[in-house]
Amino acid sequence: MGSLLDVPGMRVGHAQRIGDGWLTGVTAVLAPPGSAGGVDVRGGGPGTSETDALDPSTLAQNVDGVALCGGSAYGLAAATGVQLFLESEGQGFGVLGGVVPIVPGAVIFDLGRGGDFAKRPDTAMGLEAASRAVASGGADDGALRGCVGAGTGAVFGRGQYKGGVGMASVAIPAGPVQGPPGAPEVILPDGIVVGALAVVNAAGRPVFPDGPAADGDAILGGARAPSSANTTLAVVATNAALTPAECKRTATAAHAGLARALNPSHTLVDGDTVFALSTQALELERVPDFARQIGLFMVQTAAAEAVRLAILDGVRSATAVTTPAGTWEPYPAPPV
């Protein structure tokens, strides 16, 4: 299945609080210096910060990290903690006297799920998550999945099942790809990988390839009343060199994976948001133009699949939790 950390240079860190009224956390995704980024917000109830900084027409053309947070809009304060950590490493947009790390953030709604509405992520928790960030091989892979970080208080299926953090990756085969009729082949470089991390807190239910068909009554009726307390967040990253505009288009394409994994998705009560990052490590052929199109097509197709797999991994990785606010059991996912 792989993970976001299969993309060289990417780091992931979690911080969370459980018990004594707490059930929430923060996930920090840190990109290497010089990375490009984009974002696409498709849900009707998003909570985000600094997403305008990822617009391809803005001054800063690089992104340093992404903060995924519990706590609804209150939790956006945790993004400042991620910024402070990156500043301590000297990474960010250079300005007179120092650097300003570009760290967009997005949140899920988990307020009160630990029993105390006022216990939510803050700057200190964001700093803690970033300080714990590891690259591939830096931690037990299983410890980076499930009810950790921003997935700590996540639930889905109209609040019925426990959600969590999932990861996946897709490797793009190297070598020749047939171009248009009469045109030469396009050669893809060796080692292109697309990884994804997802936080599953959706209104909908998962769609497994070998699982039962979606039950319309369950989708429309649900076990609990609909609310605005839903969102699926994803970060997709690749080592293929993409421009900020291409990152934005990759984020858009990756939403297809979200829609394939969850039914329904992108509803009024979801804040579905996907970030796309490029570490700029491997150049794609760009001349003639059809070569550029083929390379981007391969990356964007892989991005959608990586997000789909990461969401289903987040569903499978979740574990039961009981707090004063309720009990949430894992979804009965089909065997792997």
Amino acid in the structure at residue 254: A
d(CA 115, CA 113): 5
What stretches of the chain show up as alpha helix (H) in DSSP? 78-88, 123-131, 216-220, 244-261, 289-317
User: Are 109 and 73 a contacting pair, CB within 8 Å?
Assistant: no
pLDDT of residue 260: 98
Q: Which of 140, 144, 167, 317 has its CA nearest to residue 237? A: 167
d(CA 26, CA 276): 19
The tokens describing 71, both together, are 């706590």
Distance linking the first and last C-alpha atoms of the chain: 11
Residues forming a β-bridge with 165: 146, 199
Fold of the 4-137+145-328 domain: L-amino peptidase D-ALA esterase/amidase (3.60.70)
d(CA 204, CA 199): 13
d(CA 74, CA 270): 17
Q: Collect the ranges in the chain with pLDDT lower than 70.
A: 211-228
pLDDT of residue 220: 54
Q: Which of 164, 144, 168 has its CA nearest to residue 308? A: 168
Reduced to 3 states (helix: H, G, I; strand: E, B; else coil), residue 127 is helix
212-216: long-range pairs with CB below 8 Å, 24+:
214/263
d(CA 69, CA 125): 10
d(CA 218, CA 65): 37
Is the peptide bond preceding residue 288 cis, with omega within 30 degrees of 0? Answer: yes
How, if at all, do strands 105-107 and 65-69 pair? parallel
Domain spans in the chain, listed from the N-terminal domain onward: 4-137+145-328
